[in-house]
Every structure is written in C-alpha cells, then in structure tokens.
Amino acid sequence: MSTHDHEHHAPGLQHQFEDMKQQEESVSIGMWMFLVQEIMFFGGLFTAYLVFRFRYPLAFAEGSNHLDAFWGGLNTLVLIVSSLTMALAVYYAQKGNRNLQVIMIVLTMVFGSVFLGVKVIEYTDKYNSGLVPVTGWNKRTTEADLKGGADKKEKAFAIPFIETRAEAAGGEHDSHAKKPNPHGEFQWNYGSALVDYGLKKEKETGKPFLTESEKIGYFSNGVFDPDKYRDKIRLFYFIYFVMTGLHALHMIVGLGLMAWLLWKAWIGTFSAEYFAPVEMSGLYWHFVDIVWIFLFPLLYLLGRHFIH
C-alpha cells in the first residue's frame, strides 16, 4: 500500500481493515462476544447463590438483613446516574463535542469512584464486625479491646435518623454481645431470630416452615446448633464477598478504561467519524451497572418481609 493511500485513511482506521464500517462491525462483534462470556461467568455465580438460597433461606435472609441497605441503595443510584453520564459521553463523541465528552467521562469516573468508596466503607464494617468469611481476615480483638470500646457505637458510619440495617424480632437465641476474636475468625453474634420465628410458626400452624435442608443444616440430634447455623450464614457472606468483590474488580477495570478514554478525548481523538472506543467502553460500563442492579435486591433486600 502506498503512502498516498495512507493519507486518505479515515481517522482511527487500522491497517487490517478495508474501511471504518468493517472495523466498527469487527469491534462490535468482539465486544459482544466478550460480554456474552461475562454473562456466563456471572451466571454461574448467580446460579450458585440461588441453589444455596433455596436450601437455606432463613440463614441467607439473616445474613442479608445484617447488610446495610442504605449503602447498597446509594450505590445503585450512583451507578444508574453513571450509566446516564456514560451514555452522554458516547452521544457527545458522536457529535464531535470534545469539551462535553471530557466532562461526561470525568463525571462517570467520579461516580465509579464513589461506588468503590462505599464498598470500602461496607467492607471495613464487615472486617470490624467479624463477618469476613475467611479465618484471619477479620479484626483481631481481645477482652481488653472490647472493654475499651464498650462505649463506642457499633456502626461507625451510621447516618442520623436513617435506619440503614434491618434487625429481625428478638428470639430465644439472640446474642448481640460481641465476643473476643483473637484469631480473626468469622463470627455471628446476632442470634437466630428467623429460626425462632420459623419454629414458632410451625408450632402454631402445624405446617413445615423450615426446609428439609435447614432441619439438617441447623440442628444436631433435633437440637438447634448455633455453630452449624453460623456456618450457613458464613456461606452467604462468602458468596456476598465473591460476587461484590468481582463486581468491584470489573469497576476498577472500567475506571482504567475511562482514564484512557479521558486522555484520548482530551487530545481530540474522537469525532463524528471515529467514536467506536467510547461506544464499546460504554457497553462494558453498562454491563457492569446491570450486574449490580441484580446484585442489590438479591443480596441486600432478601428476607426483609420477616422484619417486624
């Protein structure tokens, strides 16, 4: 190919493509193939969640009700708005408006950073409460530490006048007192109110309330076993951290893409003739947002109907 031919190439056209239409089709197919495998990846995680949720509904509801719905709801709103700013970034790239491209990409990055900041707050709370399901990854505490912090509030990030964490009605197995955790193990110090509620309903109606898996998974020789129940709640938190952690990792990758787009937009790379990178990055960003739209109700809103 001659130098003269290169001079007439459309902006952004790579040498292996004949024209921009062919390049855009190839890029679009590649991105959709990537998103399909991402759907299969997250689909496996959602399937695992649903299987164990079906087997141990009360333990999953108990664990879910201890998550902070305020922060989860705030992150949902943040990501919905970020999808709007990302869509506007694509729109202004198509229009060749450099300044508004830059502004929308910056706003998208700001909202993505807010999302990750909220996850840091939530993860810190789980670390301090002993709810990280991996031994040694929780805050190590002794009797002296607990006595020294007796006057401190449990929720360091509480919002005045807003109830952000649901609590079930008290039961005979409730035990909200924190215990020493010298080895950083997973702890559940919030009782078993939903199991008590289920047993009460079974006694009143004569109908089964707990699933067969729950009767095996929560009891030993017909007697409620707090350790077995804790292990089922630990399973919920394991799934919670895997799913939200992988989602946060995808968000970090998305912010990296936004940083690259911001530089390219700043130097005026994108125009009405060449905007495919912005459009493809937008598809990835919207996919990450949609995954969270499913994660929020499944993880944060599960079992709220049990609350009195």
In the chain, the number of structural domains is 1
253 — phi, psi (to 5°)?
-60, -40
Does residue 34 belong to any structural domain of this protein?
A: yes
The pLDDT tens digits of the residues spanning 5-38 come to: 444 455 555 545 455 565 566 667 878 888 899 9
Tell me the average pLDDT across 222-243: 94
CATH code of 238's domain: 1.20.120.80
* 157 in any annotated domain: no
Is residue 81 over pLDDT 60?
yes
Q: Are 112 and 251 in contact (CB under 8 A)?
A: yes
Full residue range of the structural domain in which residue 231 is found? 20-148+178-306
Domain-embedded: residue 163: no
**Would you say residue 13 lies in a domain?**
no
Residue 12 lies in a domain: no
pLDDT at residue 43, rounded to an integer: 93
Burial of residue 77 (CB within 10 Å: 0-12, 13-18, 19+) is exposed
- Domain assignment present for 159: no
User: What pLDDT shows up at residue 31?
Assistant: 81
Q: Kindly report, residue by residue over 248-289, the tens digit of the pLDDT.
A: 999 999 999 999 999 999 988 888 878 888 998 999 999 999
Query: Is residue 153 very low, low, confident or very high in pLDDT (cuts 50, 70, 90)?
Result: very low
124 vs 172, which has greater pLDDT?
A: 124
pLDDT above 50 for 141: yes
Tell me whether residue 164 is in a domain. Answer: no
Q: What is the rounded average pLDDT for all residues in the chain? A: 83
Mean pLDDT of the 151-174 span? 44
Apex 188 CA angle, 185 and 147, nearest 5: 75
Does 76 fall in a domain?
yes
For 286-301, the three-class secondary structure string (H helix, E strand, C coil) is HHHHHHHHHHHHHHHC
pLDDT classification of 303: cutoffs 50, 70, 90:
confident
Q: What does DSSP say about strands 219-220 and 223-224: parallel, antiparallel, or unpaired? A: antiparallel
**pTM of structure:** 0.83
Mean pLDDT is lowest, of 89-93, 114-118, 148-152, 214-218, for 148-152
pLDDT tier for residue 302 given thresholds of 50, 70 and 90:
confident
CB 11 within 8 A of CB 274: yes
Confidence at 134, pLDDT banded by 50, 70, 90: very high
Round to whole Å and give the CA distance between 228 and 216.
9
